[in-house]
Structure 1
């Protein structure tokens, strides 16, 4: 009975990881144990100890702000909140309660966003004009900004640019987890949350306009 239980656990774990990945592929390069820790109660407790969930502050402004383009106020991500959602655990949400993500094709050192054009329609960047979101449950030292290719500014967490996913239709959803094996829910410490890892899926198609329903899968989309 013990042997069969162990085998079942191994099968479950194998099904939870995307093909071609191992623990070293997750988290930041300096944090090779991030994947293994993400799903353990000990890691959750440690993260809670590092980040005071009641602490509120504002993030500092990047020194090289000059010449950046402003976005409309309704596009701005005005707050970042470290919290928990069902099944996934620790996440970062924006002012509307939508879960935020990070993209493997981006850079964190230095920060760089490589999601532009249609990619940014499916994964709207966490835009900022002043680099000063209200933050709670996230360390202010980890929050920064990066200037995008179009001159707009985007919020970053531990260097990683932040995004929403248009496939998430309501607060607390995380349908963008493991899309194309490149997009992952970000934790309040900037690592990938791998507590729940569905099979690799394709992103929804870019909306043609503001009234489009982005519910159909974009089967030929690589981002």
Structure 2
């Protein structure tokens, strides 16, 4: 009976976990998504009539916004591609094929606010833009921007600010899923993709001196709340 249960669990895990699954990378184990999680988001989820319209999402009355800083081209997100990856399904990838995420601690009403700054933004680089990104498989009506604390413009999907995760070392991977119980793969309509929900894990530590971590230094942080 024990052997049979273990085999069944292994098959279930293989169907959910990414190719090359390593339990230590995903908090010790992956499970199917829990039915009690709402993919549309936390208590501040946008109403149907609050979808981003391609402008500065829900923040048009903020007259104290900072001037946008110059952002290097290699830090900009120039494409949003709605696609599918094995075992997870619907995702949005940037121009380099990296999966994008949303953060439950962000706010979408009464106005959109990104609450990932400082070290958080080093681990979860915001998808910044200086114009309109090229879209494929993403409805333009779902795409907007929010002005961050430093004045830069961050892309929103379905009103939710979106980010990359530096723990993803290869395009198409999604090691940021359920990190801290707050970060989730974003779907083309801005909702969470809960097809596969690994156990809650801790984020990688922020890189030193703003440099991207090397492939062999991606250990999980121990005291980070983001």
Q: Could you report, residue by residue, the CA deviation over 1:61-115 in whole angstroms, capped at 9, with x for unpaired residues?
A: 4395883223111100001000000100000000000000000000123211000
| Larger relative contact order (CA 8 Å, sep ≥ 6) | 2
1:127 alignment partner, SS class = coil
**Matched residue, 2:117:** 116
Distance 1:89 1:147, change over 3 A: same
Moved more, 150-159 or 209-218: 209-218
Aligned residues: 185
Distance 1:77 1:168, change over 3 A: same
Distance 1:157 1:141 in 2: 9
Distance 1:114 1:193, change over 3 A: same
Contact kept in structure 1, 2:80 and 2:93, CA below 8 Å:
yes
**TM-score of the pair, normalised by structure 1:** 0.74
**Matched residue, 1:26:** 39
Question: Which ranges in structure 1 are unaligned for 5 or more consecutive residues?
Answer: 32-58
Distance 1:143 1:73, change over 3 A: same
**TM-score of the pair, normalised by structure 2:** 0.73
Contact kept in structure 2, 1:108 and 1:158, CA below 8 Å:
no
1:107 alignment partner, SS class = coil
1:215 matched to 2:218: yes
Q: Could you report, residue by residue, the CA deviation over 1:181-203 in whole angstroms, capped at 9, with x for unpaired residues?
A: 00000001111000000010000
Distance 2:69 2:181 in 1: 31
**Matched residue, 2:70:** 70
